Amino acid sequence: MANVAVIGAQWGDEGKGKVVDWLASRADIVVRFQGGHNAGHTLVVGNETYKLSLLPSGVVRGKLGIIGNGVVLDPEALLSEIARVTAQGLKVTPENLRIAENVPLILPLHPALDKAREAARGEDKIGTTGRGIGPAYEDKVGRRAIRLCDLAEPETLSAKLDELLLHHNALFRGLGAPEFAKQELLDGLLALAPKLLPFSEPVWERLAEARATGKRVLFEGAQAVMLDVDHGTYPYVTSSNTVAGNAAAGSGAGPDAIGFVLGIAKAYATRVGSGPFPSELFDETGRLLGERGREFGTVTGRPRRCGWFDACMVRQAVKVGGVQGLVLTKLDVLDGLPELKICTGYRIHGETVKYLPAAFRAQAAAEPIFETMPGWAGSTRGARSYAELPAEAVKYVRRIEELVEAPIVLLSTSPERDDTIMMRDPFAG
């Protein structure tokens, strides 16, 4: 049986939490390999709703969760999340949660810098969550990050804070923002050390052992391909690589351990924050999709921009992300609409193209080319087999498969974990 890597195939918020939760029932280990607490997964289990940002979704299933080195970890956010889900009846201890010893930490100065920069950009702001994700990744590649393992070495930690503040306080002065004092940061980190270090280990070794003993691993991505720092709608992207290839680098598993790559896409499209969105709707239909789909950010609470399914963009994500099969979520949100549209290409400066180019102005100028399909009168909500779907809904799904050039292997018809139609088991490879 194969391992599985789950990634978003649009701009995030595709319903990955439910899918990962559903798949985790047959996995032994669930690994987060990138992003930070700017990502959120909502899991609905009976009458209980769990909102996770850092914890791998497998904790809800009682599976071993791993936070890989490709994540940027806010210690306070993690401890707060553990306390919240513990109050909901879940158990999170070093027995079922392990954190890579080399994971970089988000310190209080990172969100402060994030917010100061966004304020300085004014109308040209990127639309970050203000949680310090980008600045933390900058410190990682700048070789000045504080990592979890540093908390075990107070002298190392003190010296590294000197270097870190030399860089950051100069930025704060330039932005007219308050500077940070070393002692306060040092005291805070040393106080966190005994709470965090019991979770720490070289997780690459655990993953190698899991592979050797035939255990199934589920790699859980955050955000989505079109928010990838290299392949997304730059600069309106996240600060990490969101494609499945990063599951290896972000966890310490070899690239041949990733297994089946599963992309998640909504039956329509949404986006949070700034950036191009060719198929966006500004009319009553867009408002209706937002209301029916409860389109508000899990982390920020911001309303999501809504639009028609963009097959051109998802096809691009399939090719770049190495997606071998798609999950289509929230099909039920489209119930009762008289007609549906699918974006099949763009007109950019008079030229017709079937991909979103990298250039900023070309992305902004992209005008959608739509194909119209009839809607369906019946309901898809809660369907657990194709036989329960209206004929026009099946045609819509099949047309998406043709346009994105990837098979739809799972279909989600409500937030409930069991309202899922499976055409192919991703763990079967």
Long-range contacts of 398-404 (CB under 8 A, 24+ apart): 399/342, 399/371, 399/373, 400/267, 400/309, 400/311, 400/314, 400/328, 400/342, 401/326, 403/311, 403/312, 403/315, 403/342, 403/344, 404/265, 404/311, 404/314, 404/315, 404/318, 404/326
> CA 256, CA 227: separation in Å to the nearest integer?
24
Whole-angstrom distance, CA of residue 312 vs CA of residue 294: 25
Q: Do strands 64-67 and 29-32 pair parallel, antiparallel, or not at all (unpaired)?
A: parallel
pLDDT at 417: 76
How many alpha carbons lie under 13 Å from residue 276 in its C-beta half-sphere? 23
Q: What distance in Å separates the CA atoms of residue 50 and residue 31, rounded to the nearest whole number?
A: 18
Residue-level pLDDT at 119:
86
Question: Dihedrals φ, ψ of 39, to 5°?
Answer: -105, 150
Which residues form the catalytic set? 13, 41
Q: What pLDDT shows up at residue 38?
A: 78
Give, for 353, the enclosing helix (H) or strand (E).
strand 351-353
Predicted confidence pLDDT, tens digits, the chain (429 residues): 589 999 999 998 898 878 888 888 889 999 999 999 976 677 777 778 888 889 998 888 889 999 999 999 999 999 999 999 999 999 999 999 999 999 999 999 999 998 998 888 887 777 777 899 999 999 999 999 999 999 999 999 999 999 999 999 999 999 999 999 999 999 999 999 999 999 999 999 999 999 999 999 999 998 999 999 999 999 999 999 999 999 999 999 989 999 999 999 999 999 988 899 999 999 999 999 999 998 886 666 778 999 999 999 999 999 999 999 999 999 999 999 999 999 999 999 999 999 999 998 999 999 999 999 999 999 999 999 999 999 999 999 999 999 999 999 999 998 887 889 999 999 887
DSSP 104: B
For 289-318, give one letter per residue: b (16+ CB within 10 A) or e.
Answer: bbebbebebbbbeeebbbbbbbbbbbbbbb
Domains of the chain: 4-100+201-260 (3.40.440.10), 109-196 (1.10.300.10), 265-428 (3.90.170.10)
Per-residue pLDDT, 298: 62
> Buried (b) or exposed (e) across 206-239, using 16+ Cβ within 10 A?
bbeebbeeebbbbbbbbbbbbbbbebbbeebbbb
**Type of residue found at 92:** V
Token digits for 328?
Answer: 């289509």
What is the pTM (predicted TM-score) of this model?
0.92
Residue-level pLDDT at 371? 98
Q: Over the range 23-45, which residues count as b (16 or more CB within 10 Å of their CB) and which as e?
A: bbeebbbbbbbbbbbbbbbbbbe
Q: Residue ranges of the alpha helices (H) in 145-273?
A: 154-175, 182-196, 203-212, 246-249
According to DSSP, the β-strands at 351-353 and 339-348 are antiparallel
Q: What is the predicted pLDDT for the residue at 300?
A: 63
